[in-house]
Structure 1
């Protein structure tokens, strides 16, 4: 459901409060009442737009300023993917974002509504990133049958694993090697 048309005036504060509380307390302790108190709104303000905490969380993941990044247009697919990799790494390296991601991922197996929220987040990102691939196709840098979702999964998945699981940082040289490997393969 698209709730952007009926967003409350303090939607950004609600989204920021949702993510902050999720990072601090985890999914189970996240409540609409706590979000309302942190955001400085009455809980009915939230319930007029969102029926559950998962609906608030879904919109927070997609629309919160803390998780936003610009879609690059450097003039080349390699340059755009490198910029996307830098932005993804920056988001994953932020301690608060790391706690949000961990809380969401840990809630996924048992909570279909949270899985749906995460799915909306990734669908939104891929939808925004599609412009990178459309431009690359127009420039002749990409085959018509290239799978943009797989490319982003390879790029983003590596950064998630490298940053969150291995707990390593990714410097510019690593990001360049990653992008080049995704673009050329391992042969």
Structure 2
């Protein structure tokens, strides 16, 4: 017998979680966070609202959990043979993710809630930490090829790659144009080559 609350792949718990997550995203897209309620989600998912409350406790925690499952997936790591090419592809993949309505709906809520909700703040911090750690290999390869100065800080390079996209998405509201990835990659590759991004 499995412990209470454990998830059997393909089991009822997994199916319930998938249905509730799908219902959450649909509600966020349809009525926004302000209009989304546990009751509406439960009705749309075809489960009892007590099931949702028992598992997640609150709407905020449900959003955080959905964020970990959807936006938390790693962007595939490119290997084009050049630092600029890798950063460009990484940037384009990030922009594509931010332009996906179902991912953006959850991401938007977590970013907003992170201001005052510790669970959301932790989820967002872990998300970016994982992205930075995953992208470090790009910089390490560039250093080995002589494209980036010895001692270049991989974390700082990857942070700088994402900064313009998230600034546009959540601060200035400007369009997320894939051409931005090209300009950003060129500038950061030049800075890394000139030794401006050292640890």
Q: Structure 1, unaligned stretches of length 5 or more? A: none
Contact 2:29 2:105 in 1 (8 A): yes
Q: CA deviation at 1:140?
A: 3.9
Which has the higher Rg, Structure 1 or Structure 2?
2
Which string of whole-angstrom CA distances, capped at 9 and with x for unpartnered residues, describes residues 44-80 of structure 1? Answer: 7656765554444333223227966322222322222
Cα 1:76/1:90, change in 2 over 3 Å: same
Which structure exhibits the higher relative contact order, with contacts defined as CA atoms closer than 8 Å and separated by 6 or more residues?
Answer: 1
Q: Deviations over 1:81-124 (max 9, x none)?
A: 11111111112233444443332222222222221222222223
1:156 alignment partner in structure 2: 162
Secondary structure at the aligned position of 1:142 is classed as coil
The question of whether the paired residues in 2 share the 8 Å contact of 1:163 and 1:169 is answered with yes
Please give the TM-score of this superposition, normalised by the length of structure 1: 0.71
Indicate yes or no: 2:158 matched with 1:125.
no
Verify: 1:168 aligned to 2:168, yes or no: no
| Contact 2:95–2:178 (8 Å) recurs in 1 | no
2:67 to 61, 81, 85: 61
Contact 1:23 1:103 in 2 (8 A): no
Give yes or no for contact 1:61–1:121 (8 Å, CA) kept in 2.
no
The answer for unaligned runs of 5 or more in structure 2 is 1-5, 195-199
1:177 match: secondary structure: helix
Higher mean alpha-carbon deviation, 141-150 vs 84-93, is at 141-150
1:107 matched to which residue of 2? 113
TM-score in terms of structure 2 length: 0.68
Query: Are 1:81 and 2:59 matched, yes or no?
Result: no
9, 16, 19: which one aligns with 2:14: 9
Alpha-carbon RMSD: 3.5
